[in-house]
Amino acid sequence: SLTADLAPLKQLFNNIGSALAEADRTDEALSFYERALAEDSEYVLALRNVSLVYKTRHDAKAAIAALQRLLAVDPKHREARFELSQFLDQQDRPIDALAQYEELARQDRSDPRPWKEAGALLAKRGDRAKAQQSYAECLRLAPGDQEVASALDRLRQRIDLLATEQVGL
């Protein structure tokens, strides 16, 4: 088949891109990853490598586009979706970031990490009630997570303090 015949070529382009990226020659690396993708537009490894180059360059907008391109091909790529969530939050797009955490939680209902990350994002944004719900769900899935238990306690203390201050007004 034609796809099988082209597999070594796309792998070669990807491998050259990886060697160039390791040598911090990212512009050249990107051109080889794109050549690999020209051979197979759904080549997940090359798509992932493109996103990693933009991540190391701290180019959030390009990383978001690359991660979205990857997730269009492989929607269950969890690490890519977590990274996309973080980049969306950095770009002040919390609703989009939360949608990614929701998708992660939907894909694997036993994974506490999306709930933990969503809780941290919501707490940072000042949505204490929803942060508390996310942290509680995380603890239901991972009862021994001391970091989340501490974050939830701090959040509850702040909520209690705010309630006390409002009653005192």
User: Comparing 79-93, 95-109, 124-138, 149-163, which segment has the lowest mean pLDDT?
Assistant: 149-163
> What percent of the chain has a predicted confidence (pLDDT) above 70?
92
How far apart, in whole angstroms, are the C-alpha atoms of residue 87 and residue 92? Answer: 9
C-alpha closest to that of 18 among 60, 53, 54, 42: 53
pTM: 0.85
pLDDT range class, residue 161, cuts 50, 70, 90: confident
Q: Mean per-residue pLDDT for 92-112? A: 97
Q: What is the pLDDT of residues 37-89, one digit of tens each?
A: 999 999 999 999 999 999 999 999 999 999 999 999 999 999 999 999 999 99
